[in-house]
């Protein structure tokens, strides 16, 4: 994984805006509780080819399926795009990641993601949904075991 316990970055909202505290300070995130990893995953999964970004983002191009019917085939395409996006440039190692089969619920596709942290007995877990009607991606939780 390219992120480690000493990694730090400016915190962004899921839409890519700067996160600013009530005092007007830019918030800084780190690998405590894996929040920086969640933000990196969110950035990659919400980006499409051609989007302007301030840093190197590996786009998932999930936006290309907007409006398509939620089917097992389309969910499989999204799953493959998620795996490709998360493993490119070593954000996570393919041998340490498990992405569940998708759960289809109306216009939503739901996945769970488990990442075994190298050189540790820890597992980072994430639950997220992608809504094809609203083109929204949201990380619901992340936990360490």
Please give the pLDDT value at position 57: 66
User: Rounded to an integer, what distance in angstroms lies between the CA atom of residue 46 and that of residue 54?
Assistant: 14
Mean pLDDT of 99-118: 86
Is 143 or 42 the better-scoring residue by pLDDT? 42
pTM, full prediction? 0.72
Mean pLDDT of 81-97: 87
Mean pLDDT of 25-40: 76
The radius of gyration of the chain's CA atoms, rounded to the nearest angstrom, is: 15
- pLDDT band at 108, cuts 50/70/90? confident
Please give the pLDDT value at position 40: 81
Burial class (CB in 10 A: 0-12, 13-18, 19+), 86: buried
pLDDT tens-digit profile of 35-69?
A: 778 778 877 877 777 766 555 567 788 777 767 77
Task: Inform me whether the pLDDT recorded for 83 exceeds 80.
Answer: yes
Q: What is the DSSP letter of 124?
A: E
> How far, in whole angstroms, is CA 8 from its chain's centroid?
17
Q: Could you give the domains of the chain?
A: 8-144 (3.10.450)
Task: Inform me whether the pLDDT recorded for 145 exceeds 70.
Answer: no
Mean pLDDT of 115-144: 75
Specify whether the CB–CB gap between 115 and 88 falls below 8 A: no
Task: Name the nearest CA neighbour of 116 among 87, 86, 90, 94.
Answer: 94
What are 45's two structure tokens? Answer: 């999964």
Please give the pLDDT value at position 16: 65
Task: Please provide the average confidence, as pLDDT, over all residues in the chain.
Answer: 78
Mean pLDDT of 23-34: 76
Strand 108-116 versus strand 123-131 pairing type: antiparallel
Specify whether the CB–CB gap between 44 and 85 falls below 8 A: yes
């Amino acid at each position: 994984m390219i992120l480690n316990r000493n990694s730090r970055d400016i915190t962004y909202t899921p839409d890519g805006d700067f996160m600013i505290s009530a005092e007007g300070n830019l918030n800084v995130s780190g690998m405590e509780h894996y929040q920086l990893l969640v933000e990196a995953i969110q950035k990659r999964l919400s980006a499409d080819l051609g989007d302007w970004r301030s840093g190197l983002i590996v786009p998932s191009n999930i936006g290309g399926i907007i409006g398509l019917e939620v089917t097992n085939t389309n969910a499989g395409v999204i799953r493959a795009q998620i795996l490709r996006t998360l493993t490119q440039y070593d954000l996570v190692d393919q041998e340490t990641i498990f992405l569940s089969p998708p759960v289809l619920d109306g216009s939503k596709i739901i996945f769970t993601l488990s990442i075994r942290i190298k050189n540790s007995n820890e597992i980072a877990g994430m639950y997220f949904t992608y809504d094809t009607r609203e083109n929204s991606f949201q990380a619901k939780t992340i936990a360490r075991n």
